[in-house]
Amino acid sequence: MHLTALILSRLQFAFTISFHIIFPSFSIGLAAWLTVLEALHLATGRPVYRRVFEFWLKIFGVAFGLGVVSGVVMGFQFGTNWSELARMGGPIQGPLLSYETFTAFFLEASFFGILLFGRPRVPPGFYLFSTAMVALGTTLSAFWIVANNSWMQVPVGYVFQNGGFVPTDWTKILFNSVLWVRFPHMLLASYLTGAFCVAATGAWLGLRGVARAEAEVMLKMGLYLAAVLVPAQILFGHLNGDYVHKYQPPKFAAIEGRWHDEQPASEVLVAIPDARHETDHYALSVPVLGSVIGSMSLNSKEVGLTDFPAQDRPPVFIPFWTFRVMVGCGLVMLALAWAGSYLAFRGRLDQSRLLLRMIFLSFPLPWVAILTGWFTAEVGRQPWVVYGVLRTAKAVTPFLTTRAAMTSLVLFCAVYAFIFAAGIFYIYRLLQAGPVGELAEPTRGTPNRPLSIGGPDPSETPRPAPRGA
Amino acid sequence: MVEFWVFILGFSVLLYVLLDGFDLGIGILFGIAPHENEKSAMMSAVAPIWDGNETWLVVAGVVLWGAFPLAYSTLLSAFYLPIVFMLAGLILRGVAFEFRYKTQRWRGVWDWAFAGGSLVATFAQGVTVGALVEGLPMANGHYSGGDLGWLDPFAILCGIGLCLGYALLGACWMVRKCEDEARELGYRFIAALSVGLLAFLGIVFALALRADLQVMHRWLERPYLFVFPAIGALAAIVLAHSVRRRRDGLPFYMAALIFIAAFGTLAISFWPYMIPFSITIQQAAAPQSSLAFMFWGEGLFVFPLMLVYTAISYSVFRGKVRSDSAHY
């Protein structure tokens, strides 16, 4: 492939945003889970909830910090690499993202400090309130980001004037039905990330026989939550498919691997799509199912990619496969969550080491699902950046040179790899240690220092937890 | 409405320069601080607040995008490499703050990342301002200077100047927050940096005169502009006095006043241009419907709350950090 500034910019955006999404998706879920734990602790008074809370708070801190530093880059990349999009879409995208900074950053920054260091200084009810506010902040942040992206997927409420998008109806932009199925989809994905990480950690601790009471709380809460959320997520996934079917038929056809109109349409389960010959190789398909999935009907006509001019079609291979990987992850998560919940409910989960091991190994699944889901949405949107209106090739900074784009791509890859390795190693060490250490009330506050609370100084050795503290 | 957002933007940038200025400056000086206990005290002096300080950069960035999309897209794409290096520097120094204390073996690496990241980020900001003062090469509404169009001796000089300036802010903050050796070290830094900064200002002024910069014409047209350098000079005199009398609290305010004077000078000599001397504020402004949408929510209600939060955060952490109570 010839490396142009356009390709390099796309790679850079894909790389930096994929790196970034790993952390917020985790911290959105964790913040909500911390709120539930704190509420349970207040309601029941059981110390185990407190110990689990303190344990996950440390991990939350590190993930939150990495999300903050990698997020700063995102706000500037629109201008550096995508100046034409920034100029034209700025009147709509700029205000949406400025609301993110103002509302979400403000809430998070204000209450995060209290969360980390304020427990001895504020009443328990206010501490719970602070936890909920941090969770609200992360959720609001996700809302504005998805609002911006949904407008790029299905632009509404604007006129195109003087070479730019001029907002005419903000209620349409903010109450776009597409936004309100995509935002819950993202939110549920984040909650599932939290649930699976918590359950996997519980399984890991359980397998090693460490901190049994805490491990059981983590396993049960994670699995029960996932058992309820995965079906809800599948429902919202279906609703997302509906909007793609309605507003982005070429993307839908690419996901389905459907090249020609069919009535009734079959569903290609797996295949190797071949764009040059406009066909699928080694296709395994089920008749009629395509019409059922697309239109909930037995004989609807479903459109194929060849209905659209070649320059308006997305790449097929990537969305076709990323979609299947996402759905596959979802189905595996469903099986694990239900099987695990059933055994946990019957009190036999700790006897099934095989299932525990599988739950432990399942922790990457929600991330894989989130990344492949976003790949499907974003690659499937091509060749448009603002769907149907502005092409990606016209959005890139017109005078950006390959040399400059290559420099920045290499620089970001190197820096991110460096801090990612350190951050992951650090989270791993925290997880491995398990919920140990005293429930000492922190006395000195240093808020706004997301990464600093993770555990003891390396020179200190962790002490075992006093039970019932 | 446009004026409101110009004010918010200017205010956010100024706040960023003053707040992140001193913690970037501490980062720069960290690299030449000789002993571990001074280093530790320096970090403690900014640790609780650096993250909030940096948030103002993001605030300025998104306000620029939302309210002045043309200026946002032109500036960021023109200064591609400085911005990319600034971001990389900010990331490295940000995580170094925290990871430094998680390891003994790798501490040197994170120290290097902290000082180096701060220096690179500051230098990139200074170069950007310098090149902006000279005026961006534009053709048909686009930047036309190429990858390195911002790179010339004047811009580099401004990069060095901002490093000196932020370091001065940092040294004043050290004096304000630290005790014992770290405080003394801060006073020594202030003395050296003040001389360096004076020399820099002299050279820049001479260069600007020689290059016949367009900014200089504005000065002759608008003599009232000399009020700002006068304020700056006054602040420098008070700074010198407060250093001699060891009045720990005062130098920081005086250094901040020097920065405010410089900022005011630039802002008023650019007016009514947003990108001197090619794009005016009115040309850069987003449509009324965008500005109004931002005004009725974040502008009117959330912005004041953000200021309140910043004030609370600083009042919680007021007073000296004691070297023995350095966190961890």
Secondary structure of chain A in HEC code, one letter for each residue: CCCCHHHHHHHHHHHHHHHHHHHHHHHHHHHHHHHHHHHHHHHHCCHHHHHHHHHHHHHHHHHHHHHHHHHHHHHHHHHHHCHHHHHHHHHHHHHHHHHHHHHHHHHHHHHHHHHHHCCCCCCHHHHHHHHHHHHHHHHHHHHHHHHHHHHHHCCCCEEEECCEEEECCHHHHHCCHHHHHHHHHHHHHHHHHHHHHHHHHHHHHHHHCCCHHHHHHHHHHHHHHHHHHHHHHHHHHHHHHHHHHHHCHHHHHHHHCCCCCECCCCEEEEEEEECCCCEEEEEEEECCHHHHHHHCCCCCCECCHHHCCHHHCCCCHHHHHHHHHHHHHHHHHHHHHHHHHHHHHCCCHHHCHHHHHHHHHCCCHHHHHHHHHHHHHHHHHCCEEECCCEEHHHHCCCCCCHHHHHHHHHHHHHHHHHHHHHHHHHHHHHHHHCCCCCCCCCCCCCCCCHHHHCCCCCCCCCCCCCCCC
* Partners of residue A418 in chain B, C-beta under 8 Å: 92
Q: Taking CB atoms and an 8 Å limit, are B147 and A168 in contact across chains?
A: no
Residue of B58, B136, B327, B328 best to disrupt the A interface, most CBs of A under 10 A: B58
- Indicate if the pLDDT at residue A455 is higher than 50: no
B143 touching chain A per CB within 8 A: yes
Give the residue-averaged pLDDT of A121-139. Answer: 89
Q: B85 to chain A: which residues are within 8 Å by CB?
A: 411
ipTM of this complex prediction, to 2 decimal places: 0.90
Which B residues in the span 17-56 are in contact with A, Cβ-Cβ below 8 Å?
A: 47-52, 54-55
pLDDT(A169) > 90: yes
Query: Which chain A residues are closer than 8 Å to B82 by Cβ?
Result: none
pLDDT-based confidence at residue A439 (cuts at 50, 70, 90): low
pLDDT at A466 over 60: no
Query: In the predicted model, is pLDDT for residue A389 greater than 80?
Result: yes
B203-212 — which CB contacts under 8 Å span 24+ positions? B203/B157, B204/B154, B204/B157, B204/B158, B204/B161, B207/B153, B207/B154, B207/B157, B208/B133, B208/B154, B211/B134, B211/B154
A271-316 tens-digit pLDDT = 999 888 888 889 898 888 888 888 888 888 899 999 999 999 999 9
Residue B62 C-alpha, separation from nearest chain A C-alpha, in angstroms: 5
Cβ of residue B307 closer than 8 Å to a chain A Cβ: no
> What are A6-28's pLDDT values in tens digits?
999 999 999 999 999 999 999 99
- Phi/psi at A262 (nearest 5 deg)? -140, 145
Q: In chain A, what percentage of residues exceed pLDDT 70?
A: 93
Weakest mean pLDDT among A141-145, A210-214, A358-362: A210-214
Q: Which of chain B's residues have a Cβ under 8 Å away from the Cβ of A113?
A: 48, 313
Chain A residue at shortest CA distance from B77: A80
Does the beta-carbon distance from A452 to B327 stay under 8 Å?
Answer: yes
Q: What confidence tens digit (pLDDT) does each residue in A178-192 have? A: 999 999 999 999 999
* Percent of chain A predicted with pLDDT > 90: 61
**Residues in chain B closer than 8 A to A83 (CB atoms):** 73-74, 76-77
* Residue A156 pLDDT > 60: yes
A457 has a pLDDT exceeding 60: no
Which range (A126-135, A441-450, B25-34) has the least confidence? A441-450
What pLDDT is recorded for position A219? 92
Given this model, what pLDDT does residue A438 score?
52
Q: Is A168 exposed, middle or buried (0-12, 13-18, 19+ CB in 10 A)?
A: middle
Q: Is the pLDDT of residue A440 over 70?
A: no
Position A12 scores a pLDDT of 95
Radius of gyration, alpha carbons of chain A? 24
**Residues B142 and A84 sit within 8 Å (Cβ to Cβ):** no
pLDDT reading at A144 higher than 70: yes
Q: Please list every residue in chain A whose beta carbon sits closer than 8 Å to the beta carbon of residue B302.
A: 102-103, 106
Please check whether residue B81 touches A, CB under 8 A: yes
CB contact under 8 A, B298 and A444: no
Determine, for residues B316 and A66 on separate chains, whether the beta-carbon distance falls below 8 Å.
no
Chain A residue with the nearest C-alpha to that of B74: A83
Q: Are B255 and B168 in contact (CB under 8 A)?
A: yes
Most distant CA pair in chain A: distance in Å? 70
Residue of B95, B143, B313 with shortest CB distance to A419: B95
Among B2, B23, B65, B315, most A C-beta atoms within 10 A, so best to mutate, is B65
Is residue A340 within 8 Å of residue A224, measured between CB atoms?
Answer: no
CA distance A357 to chain B (A): 30
Q: Between A and B, how many residue pairs show a Cβ–Cβ distance under 8 A? A: 223
Q: With beta carbons under 8 A apart, name residues in chain B contacting A422.
A: 95, 99
- pLDDT tens digits, one per residue of A331-383: 999 999 999 999 888 888 878 889 999 999 999 999 999 999 999 999 999 99
Give the model's pLDDT for residue A312.
93
- What mean pLDDT, rounded, does chain A reach? 87
Contact B80 A445 (CB under 8 A): no
Higher pLDDT, residue A210 or B12: B12
The CA-atom distances, in angstroms, between A56 and each of A115, A215, A453, B259 are 12, 12, 11, 43
A445: pLDDT strictly greater than 60 = no
How do the pLDDT tens digits run along chain B, 328 residues long? 899 999 999 999 999 999 999 999 999 999 998 888 888 888 888 887 888 888 899 999 999 999 999 999 999 999 999 999 999 999 999 888 778 877 778 888 899 999 999 999 999 999 999 998 888 888 877 888 888 888 888 899 999 999 999 999 999 999 998 888 888 899 999 999 999 988 998 888 888 777 777 777 777 777 777 888 889 889 999 998 898 888 888 999 999 999 999 888 888 888 888 888 888 889 889 999 999 999 998 889 989 988 887 887 787 777 787 654 444 3
Residues of A whose CB is below 8 A from B109: none
